[in-house]
Amino acid sequence: MKNPLVSVENLSHRYSAQWAVKDLNIEIPDKGIYGLLGSNGAGKSTTMNIMSGVLKQTQGNVYIKGIDLSKRPIEAKKQIGFLPQHPPLYTDTTVEEYLTNCAYLRRIDTKEVKVAVEKVMEKCSIAHFKKRLIRNLSGGYQQRVGIAQAIIHKPAFIILDEPTNGLDPNQILEIRKLIKEIAQERAVLFSSHVLTEVQAICDHILMINNGKMVFSGKTEEFDNYLMPNTVFVRLLGMPSEEDIKQSVEGVERIENLDGFNYRLSFKNLDGAIERIVTASVKNNWRLDEIRSEKNSLNDVFSELSKIK
């Protein structure tokens, strides 16, 4: 079986007596966008700093392409690109000068530096600003420069700590598009405390609360975590709960919300709406409204955050 691209085993870290993260296990098998979700202070930045090799963990291990980050840091870091929450930009250099320095720091062969810089500027759509001082760029373009330094050496694993924080809506859309393009070729770990941001861009979600992992799975699984597979119906005929249970196959629970409105829970929603419509016509329930329900990400986040 193929080894995962990134493996985090029993990761723990504390500052003095306070544990920031405790017994985290993360596996990133291949390319795609993985969202690291959590409220402020949940342990996201600590986790990312450890996975990028910036911070030495108290306990546990991090492997990048099977390489132990603690024992072989230089070799492992060749496979890692990192954009911290505050981009490490030298604002009095031009875009080209800064990325050239980054290329040398990343030990790219001298003969290949110029081409690497040109390619990454093109990739991040900043080539037309290559002679401009970074301090004179907008926040969105400064963020693009930050992403460019993280991918200039073509790492297999990119870590982006809240890359859209502070950007306007148009800039956020542009950065999302860039991240999605990058993720077609490699794995991206994307951190945010904004739920809709994670939903819009990520394939998988890892949620941390109080330093512990409380959810790991696909975005769709996260979205349906609480009270999944429910259908809201408005029936003007006001059938009894027993009538509904006998007439609609697969109903597990019925909530009468206010006389006309009901919430029906199913183990599996496949075909449920069609069965409700058929039963309504047959029994003259006078179906007025019907829709499948999903929990908002805020509801799921709130519920998962209660897990200790």
d(CA 252, CA 55): 49
158 shares a domain with 108: yes
pLDDT digits (tens, 9 = 90+) for 18-48: 899 999 999 999 899 999 988 878 899 999 9
Q: Domain check: are 261 and 185 in the same one?
A: no
What is the total count of domains within the chain? 2
Alpha helical stretches, state H, the chain: 44-51, 73-77, 95-105, 113-123, 139-151, 169-182, 195-201, 219-223, 241-247, 272-283, 297-304
pTM: 0.77
Does 308 fall in a domain?
A: no
DSSP state of 109: -
Range of the domain at 288: 230-293
User: So what's the pLDDT on residue 61?
Assistant: 96
Domain edge (last residue) among 202, 223, 244: 223
Instruction: Identify whether residues 14 and 84 lie together within a single domain.
Output: yes
Q: Same structural domain for residues 196 and 274?
A: no
Q: What is the pLDDT of residues 127-153, one digit of tens each?
A: 999 999 999 999 999 999 999 999 999
CB 123 within 8 A of CB 151: yes
Burial group, residue 119, by CB count within 10 angstroms (0-12, 13-18, 19+): middle
The verdict on residue 206 lying in a domain is yes
Query: What does pLDDT average to over the chain?
Result: 90
Read off the pLDDT band of 85 (50, 70, 90): confident
CATH number, domain with residue 283: 3.30.70
Per DSSP bridges, beta strands 187-192 and 32-37 are parallel
